[in-house]
Amino acid sequence: MQFVCYLDDSMDTGGNVQALSGYLSTLEGWLLFEKHARTVLQNYEVQQLRGKDFHNGHKDFKGWDGIKKSRFVNDLYKVVGEYIIHGLNSIVHIPDFDSAKKYNKDLENISPICLAFGQAVFSATQKDFLDKFRHVNFDICFKVESGHNNNGNIDRYFNWLKDIWPSNTHKLESLEFIGKDQCIAIQLADFLAFHGRREADNWASTQFRQKHSTGDAMKIMTKYVFHRHDRFFHYSDRAKKRNIALDDTFAALFVPQGGLK
């Protein structure tokens, strides 16, 4: 069995949150999704699904009112719920990341988007959604949207990760960078990245005390398919005079000791 995880990034200019988000399913699930999602997009005369254009009413979404937007997301995510296992919204709070780098040398030469990718790998391979696949041999491929300046950092990180990956578990098959026009799956990742990052911006404004979905689109999206939100955090426990930069499991499995070479 083969799983494929599509991921795209989002970060507002001057913002504090880097997101890398997308969806995971089997290869067969993605093929069926592409077929049925294409019909939905054609019915709404949408040539390319982009979260920012949808939100701002630009290009294919020009002139859409709230009712049409809600109907579109509902129709699209009925298909998502049918064929996609779950969504991943991997976010890095930049101030936390900058603070953590002062204390943790393992974060050297790792960019925020690279760390978000590491969180996504962790979520796609280790979290509880895989319980029903525990006794199934499978490979997992990652397809990340091309064009980001730090994609080379992700590529180096993935090659390191493959080298240290346990041989007695599922296999990290490949990493590929693809364009937005290659499939609807990567456009769907863009759609989640935009809305997931906006949610995280809201959470950051309340020191992450509020974590439930507030946006109209996200409320519909989460109705049809489970979305996992993972956040890199750093905090100081002054009473005990210690700094915690990473969850222990994450640190042990996904951060190169001494930094990425």
Residue 141 lies in a domain: yes
Contact indicator for 22, 87 with CB cutoff of 8 Å? yes
pLDDT band of 133, cuts 50, 70, 90: low
Tens digits of per-residue pLDDT, 14-38? 788 899 999 999 999 999 999 999 9
Residue 259 lies in a domain: no
Residue 107 lies in a domain: yes
Mean pLDDT score across all residues of the chain? 85
At 49, is the secondary structure helix, strand, or coil? coil
Whether 62 has a pLDDT exceeding 90, the answer reads: yes
Residue 46 lies in a domain: yes
CA dihedral 261, 256, 13, 212 (to 10 degrees): 170
Contact indicator for 179, 43 with CB cutoff of 8 Å? no
Residue 261 lies in a domain: no
At 228, is the secondary structure helix, strand, or coil? strand
Return the pLDDT at 239: 35
Residue 18 lies in a domain: yes
At 162, is the secondary structure helix, strand, or coil? helix
Supply the range of the domain harboring residue 182.
2-254
As a whole number, mean pLDDT of residues 174-203 equals: 93
DSSP 129: G
Residue 129 lies in a domain: yes
At 74, is the secondary structure helix, strand, or coil? helix
Least Cα distance to 256 among 169, 174, 161, 168 occurs for 161
Distances (CA, A) of 64 to 69, 70, 196: 6, 10, 21
Percent of the chain clearing pLDDT 70 (strictly above): 83
Number of domains making up the chain: 1
DSSP β-bridge partners for residue 24: 5, 86
Return the pLDDT at 1: 83
Tens digits of per-residue pLDDT, 105-114? 888 899 999 9
Residue 260 lies in a domain: no
Backbone angles phi, psi at 26, to 5 degrees: -75, 165
CATH number for position 158: 3.30.420.10
Contact indicator for 34, 185 with CB cutoff of 8 Å? yes
As a whole number, mean pLDDT of residues 141-158 equals: 95
